[in-house]
């Protein structure tokens, strides 16, 4: 079974919009066992659209077309579909009534221009759009099944999830869907992960995938849907091999930290020097972490230059202790000052204070550096909450010093 996608529109073709619908659809279908064989993108010219629809109809069983269903004159997907299938555009009264109802619910009259959105190829079957005026539709062009979908990401996703995937699963019942399990790692390169997993013999029907969002790499295990026990067993093997750098399983690190904080009923304050507010903003983008947070502060670059930094780790420990005391939280997590390519991170909690001096192995831009520093700090928090060894080893970061001061010494 061959499935392809066509993205339409000048704004996608000319790079004004990154085609996230395409990446999302490919990934979503792949996880459900429908691996896409080709994607194409063309602009808004009727001839180019029609030509591409025909080409795709010859080489594929299913084609999903995205975009070009709006009310304006440059939305031409329906017209191209009619031309490619050699049929007429006709008024679909049921959709016209739906649009009129949507407008009257909002207390306004449907503009004339929306009429166009109810003009569909004669042979089309409507696919409902519960959240917008552009209905989708399904039709044959030559022997291929085409699904036409709106470009607005929210409308597109709802339509694929609620209608197109179930339709595909009905039409292709022998397609075996994968189930996907995930691990999130920090501090390994993709090639290091692949080397570590090299010894692993996956059972038949299993496959590994990687996706990197700096500074994390997600390891995905695809396996048959009905073999839960076996997948759990394989996941445990993978976990063992990567354990030193696994930050969470089946949920991103941030959610995992939020769950841990709530579960243990602990509160957190942060103070930042070399991460300029990114650590706090990133942590608090999780609502659970935000609710467990005390005051946090971002030190000014100028003030921190005045502090004596002859012993950067001591200064960062002092900052962590002071933050925890001032903010009256259970834990304080801080980033110290950047000196050349070296920075410090520290955590202060009931049992004592832990800190590290880390050094970048290669130059990073400010944006990337701040993300890596924040992830390293968050990893210190994770290790504390999980009662794991506190000092990790990270690819791309050289550890030049690590130190633990038990509470008895701190006092």
In the bound state with its own copies, the residue whose beta carbon lies nearer, of 121 and 336, is 336
Tokens of 1: 């079974």
Q: Enumerate residues 361-380 that contact its own copies by CB under 8 A.
A: 366-367, 370
| 121 beta partners | 89
SS3 of residue 378 by DSSP: helix
- In three-state form (DSSP H/G/I as H, E/B as E, the rest C), the secondary structure along 182-198 is EEEEECCCHHHHHHHCC
Q: How many positions of this chain bind its own copies (CB under 8 A)?
A: 60
Q: Enumerate residues 162-191 that contact its own copies by CB under 8 A.
A: none
x-or-dash pattern for its own copies, window 38-67, by CB under 8 A?
Answer: xxxxxx----x---x--x------------
In the bound state with its own copies, the residue whose beta carbon lies nearer, of 128 and 207, is 207
> How far is 217 from 246, CA to CA, in rounded Å?
10
Q: Does residue 27 touch its own copies according to CB under 8 A?
A: yes
CB of 11 to its own copies, least distance (A): 8
Q: Enumerate residues 199-228 that contact its own copies by CB under 8 A.
A: 209-211
> How far is 194 from 200, CA to CA, in rounded Å?
10
> How far is 243 from 82, CA to CA, in rounded Å?
55
Identify which range of 29-37, 63-71, 306-314, 392-400 contacts its own copies by CB under 8 A: 29-37
Identify which range of 33-41, 62-70, 238-246, 310-318 contacts its own copies by CB under 8 A: 33-41
Q: Does residue 88 touch its own copies according to CB under 8 A?
A: no
Among 118, 327, 333, 347, binds its own copies (CB under 8 A): 327
Tokens of 89: 């555009």
x-or-dash pattern for its own copies, window 239-278, by CB under 8 A?
Answer: ------------------------------x------xxx
Given a contact cutoff of 8 angstroms between Cβ atoms, the answer to whether 269 and 332 are in contact is yes
Q: CB neighbours of 316 closer than 8 A, spacing ≥ 6?
A: 334, 335, 336, 337, 344, 345, 346, 355
Q: Does residue 18 touch its own copies according to CB under 8 A?
A: yes
Cα–Cα separations (whole angstroms), residue 393 to 163, 244, 350: 46, 8, 24
Of the candidates 277, 316, 274, 270, the residue with the CA atom closest to the CA atom of residue 295: 270
Binding region for its own copies (CB under 8 A) = 11, 13-20, 22-28, 30, 35-43, 48, 52, 55, 209-211, 269, 276-278, 280-285, 287, 290-291, 293-303, 327, 366-367, 370
């Amino acid at each position: 079974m061959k499935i392809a996608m066509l993205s339409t529109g000048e704004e996608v073709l000319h790079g004004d919009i990154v085609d996230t619908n395409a990446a999302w659809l490919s990934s979503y279908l792949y996880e459900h066992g429908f691996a896409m064989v080709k994607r194409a993108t063309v602009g808004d010219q009727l001839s180019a659209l029609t030509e591409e629809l025909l080409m795709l109809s010859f080489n594929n069983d299913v084609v999903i077309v995205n975009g070009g269903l709006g009310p304006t004159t440059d939305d031409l997907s329906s017209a191209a579909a009619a031309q490619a299938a050699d049929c007429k555009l006709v008024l679909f009264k049921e959709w016209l009534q739906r649009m009129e109802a949507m407008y009257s619910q909002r207390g306004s009259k449907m503009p004339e221009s929306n009429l166009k959105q109810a003009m569909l190829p004669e042979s089309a079957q409507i696919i409902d759009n519960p959240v917008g005026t552009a209905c989708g539709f399904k039709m044959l062009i030559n022997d291929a099944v085409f699904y036409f979908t709106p470009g607005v990401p929210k409308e597109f996703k709802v339509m694929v999830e609620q209608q197109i995937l179930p339709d595909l699963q009905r039409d292709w019942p022998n397609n075996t869907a994968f189930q996907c399990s995930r691990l999130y790692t920090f501090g390994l390169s993709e090639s290091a992960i692949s080397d570590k997993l090299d010894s692993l013999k996956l059972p038949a029907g299993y496959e590994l995938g990687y996706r990197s969002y700096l500074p994390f790499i997600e390891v995905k295990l695809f396996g048959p849907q009905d073999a839960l026990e076996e997948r759990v067993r394989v996941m445990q093997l993978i976990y063992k091999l990567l354990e030193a750098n696994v930050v969470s399983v089946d949920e991103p690190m941030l959610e995992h930290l939020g769950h841990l904080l709530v579960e243990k009923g602990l509160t957190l304050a942060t103070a930042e020097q070399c991460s300029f507010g990114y650590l706090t903003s990133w942590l608090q983008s999780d609502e659970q972490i935000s609710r467990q947070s005390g005051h946090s502060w971002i030190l000014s670059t100028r003030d921190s230059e005045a502090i004596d930094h002859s012993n950067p780790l001591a200064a960062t420990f002092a900052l962590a202790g002071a933050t925890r005391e001032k903010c009256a939280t259970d834990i304080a997590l801080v980033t110290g000052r950047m000196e050349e390519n070296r920075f410090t991170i520290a955590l202060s909690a009931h049992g004592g204070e832990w800190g590290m001096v880390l050094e970048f192995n290669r130059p990073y831009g400010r944006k990337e550096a701040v993300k890596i520093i924040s992830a390293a700090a968050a990893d210190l928090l994770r290790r504390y909450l999980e009662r794991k060894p506190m000092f990790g080893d990270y690819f791309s970061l050289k550890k030049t010093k690590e130190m633990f001061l038990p509470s008895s010494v701190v006092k």
